[in-house]
């Protein structure tokens, strides 16, 4: 029998609001009025408030005592730091993936890679992004580490919620693709150190492309 997973209201609410935040329907800084959301979703405040607590724990919203919740708005420094952590997680993913990925998975990633290149040729930025993210995701999955997977996913959501439109110039785009080619080579050779290095630099460059470098970040 198709065991129909009875799912709890507050869980579906978490997913619902989380998607709204990650997809940009709810922008950073936006106030979340409990009554308003309750009416929209047709639920009472109890499950909603439980959902808000979860989203706050995930770092997607901020809750101020007696003043309600709002979509997290991060400082440039925090964003900078999140990219730094993300680059570390990707590097770790890559290193582990080289040990554990199957030839089939490598082939799948190559297919995604070529699909991505096609998007570049068509100047289809939107789908390019999707394929790009999918490739990074596959590498993370290939690391075969659920804790790493969860942490990576969670951090990625927080970053995605910021809705960067990276000021892309063609040169950077082509460089990014070149780096992806290098990734595939490293994967094929199962050169973990090399893949880690590429992924790390790749992410840092993405960060630089997004953030104009006008902020002060920690240096020695």
Residues lying near DNA in the complex (CB under 7 A) are found at 6, 8-10, 32-36, 43-47, 49-50, 63, 65-69
Q: Using CB under 8 A, which of 2, 35, 42, 66 touches a copy of itself? A: 66
Residue pair 148/95 in contact (Cβ under 8 Å)? The answer is no
Our finding on whether 155 is near a copy of itself (CB under 8 A) is: yes
What is the spatial distance between Cα 205 and Cα 199, in angstroms, rounded to a whole number? 10
What is the spatial distance between Cα 41 and Cα 162, in angstroms, rounded to a whole number? 24
Site string for a copy of itself, 106-145 (x = CB under 8 A): --------------------------------------xx
Annotate 70-100 with DSSP letters as a single string: EE----HHHHHHHHHHHHHHHHHHHHHHHHH
Contacted by 33, from a copy of itself, DNA, none: CB < 5 to 8 Å by type: DNA
Contacted by 67, from DNA, a copy of itself, none: CB < 5 to 8 Å by type: DNA
125's CB contacts (< 8 A; 6+ apart) are 119, 168
Our finding on whether 85 is near a copy of itself (CB under 8 A) is: yes
Count Cβ atoms below 10 Å from residue 48 Cβ, excluding itself: 22
Our finding on whether 218 is near a copy of itself (CB under 8 A) is: yes
Q: Residue 31: in which H helix or E strand, if any?
A: strand 31-32
Token pair of 63 as six digits: 């809750």
Closer CB to DNA, 42 or 103, in the complex: 42
Chain residues binding a copy of itself by CB under 8 A are 6-8, 10, 46, 49-51, 53-54, 56-59, 65-66, 78, 81-82, 84-85, 88-89, 92, 96, 99-100, 144-148, 150-151, 155, 190, 218-220
């Amino acid at each position: 029998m198709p065991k129909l997973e009875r799912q709890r209201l507050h869980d579906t609410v978490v997913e619902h609001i989380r998607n709204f935040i990650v997809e940009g329907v709810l922008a950073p800084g936006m106030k979340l009025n409990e009554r308003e959301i309750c009416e929209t979703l047709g639920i009472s405040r109890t499950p909603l408030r439980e959902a808000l607590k979860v989203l706050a724990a995930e770092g997607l919203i901020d809750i101020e005592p007696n003043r309600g919740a709002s979509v997290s708005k991060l400082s440039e420094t925090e964003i900078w730091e999140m990219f730094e952590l993300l680059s570390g997680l990707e590097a770790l993913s890559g290193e582990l993936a080289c040990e554990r990925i199957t030839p089939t998975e490598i082939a799948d990633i190559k297919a995604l890679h070529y699909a991505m290149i096609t998007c570049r040729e068509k100047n289809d930025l939107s789908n390019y992004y999707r394929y790009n993210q999918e490739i990074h995701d596959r590498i993370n999955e290939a690391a075969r580490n659920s804790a790493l997977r969860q942490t990576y996913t969670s951090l990625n959501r927080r970053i995605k919620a910021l809705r960067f439109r990276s000021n892309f110039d063609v040169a950077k785009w082509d460089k990014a693709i070149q780096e992806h080619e290098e990734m595939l080579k490293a994967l094929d050779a199962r050169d973990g150190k090399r893949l880690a290095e590429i992924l790390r630099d790749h992410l840092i460059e993405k960060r630089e492309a997004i953030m104009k470098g006008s902020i002060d970040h920690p240096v020695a």
